[in-house]
Structure 1
Amino acid sequence: MVRLMRCVTNRFRGENELPFFFGTPAILWQIIFFIVPLLAILFFSVSVFNSQGSLIGFSFASFKYFFSMPYVWVILRSLWLAFFNVSVCFLVAYPVAYYLVFRAGSFKPLLFFLLVLPFWTNFLLHIFAWFFVLEKEGFLNLFLQSVGLISKPLHLLNSSFAVYLMMVYYYLPFMILPLYAALDRFDGDLIEASYDLGATWWQTIWKILIPSTAGGIVTGFFMVFVPSFGEFVIPELLGGDKIMYVGNVVSYLVLGENTGALGGAFTVLSCLVLGLSAFVCYLGIVRLIKMLK
């Protein structure tokens, strides 16, 4: 996407780095399926209709109503879920990607196959499979009881624990793959050279590996953080109806009776919060990587 926008900018400057025609389908796709629906949501969030469904005016009452409701805590809860998920996924994915690139050897094709294997099955099947693991008579409770860690089954379903666990399980490959691609382009001899020059294992990671794979880190961050913020299916099926996140609230408001305008306002504000949070995190990651160099 960055490459595409650079080509568009160069086109208007007269620098024909890439024929503009090549980027036109992607630009049209973004306009039709992202910008236009978002503008439509914004329009309905400020529109006032009468009982016959005719437009009679515009009002920002939905936005004021939003700030008077506890939906702000829903956004904060979703932000925390996204931050937690992207942090855990990164801490787990980086060693896995490193092992796949530099230590897997002849087992790399098999391990990579196992990594992408979950994508071959339906997402809902994954969730229902976790029902059998997390229910009171499920595998996890039976295992904990058999080793004497608990005396009675734990209530794991319809809880934040189930949501967080499933989020990490599902989004972990989306963090591993860009890190794998970045590490695969990295020259492994630089690691040995750093050791020869007296660098410690920790210094090699922070001074060489992390800055050299910054592109993969940023890509993995956006691939995990953005969809985690608006995740609907996992909280809906595993979190129960007591814990609400952005995706659940948007669904209830947009599909509810006489709450469409409020749903539109909530969607627009959620998108603004998400964009601002992602931008701030991006600047923080870039600044941290520059400090490490």
Structure 2
Amino acid sequence: MIDARLRLLIAVCEYGTVTAAAEALYRSPSGVSKQLRELATELDLDLLERHGRRVRLTPAGQRLVAHARKLNAQWEVALSDTTAAARQLCGPVVIGGFPTAIPSILTPALLRMRDQHQMLEPVIKEIYSSEVRTALESGTIDLGLFVADEPTSHIADSHVEVLSLLDDPIDLLVPEEHRFAAADQVRLEDAAQEEWVSGHAHQDAYIELLAATRAVGYAPRVTHHAQELTATTALVAAGLGIAAVPRIAMTVPHPRVVQVPLTGGQVPRRRILLALRRGSHNNPRIAAAVTAVQNISRTLTAATAG
């Protein structure tokens, strides 16, 4: 196993501060700082330098991180080869995912893994799409689900492999007494005069909604701002507006709202991908998790098609 302090150095490189790296790895900042000082002393190199309130890697530190990433990839290959010789899968595998993926994809995948491999220890961590690459690099997670968009467009690189999972259509969420509630499908352009519940301008829910409505000729009139699904559902149920929600998000139906599929040439959708460290795919533990997540995704695709 490579020196664990190299993972700490990679984490500081990714997160930009010792404190942020320590929080991500569930370590104390003082402990991380101490170990990095010890590493620098052993190597007789300056690895970090102060830059205002932050730290940045020295040229030597940057070069060491590049070598550490290569060592990580080689270690993943070695671990995969060694684990393949085991008779029964055991040990932890950590899967990260954004909030709406946890009930719909990751929870059933975890249950399936437990049924098939009793000694495997799958763990789920909530993590936002923009944090997946850093979490993989720092070793916080082994796999990460994320939504493909501009902030995540560069996740795939020489150190991270990306697999396609599914396309998740966006539906309308309306109060049960709404004029759309009895419809089998609704065109997005027919909702041009509606009041909307959506996120703030910088949040994913609003950005996705704005792009979709602009494509059919209008901007949504957002009267209430909520990104979290429970808050959005409560506002819609109270008759305070309609919302756009991912199809897989509504795993638990609410008694006072109706989810209506959109139709037409501009049906918004989310592309959901799976990322893992390059070299780890042949690790039987990782492979079992990938297979479980892919199988649940295929089931969801079939169940939500239409």
Give TM-score scaled by structure 2 length. Answer: 0.22
Give TM-score scaled by structure 1 length. Answer: 0.22
Name the structure with the higher helix share.
Answer: 1
Structure showing greater radius of gyration is 1
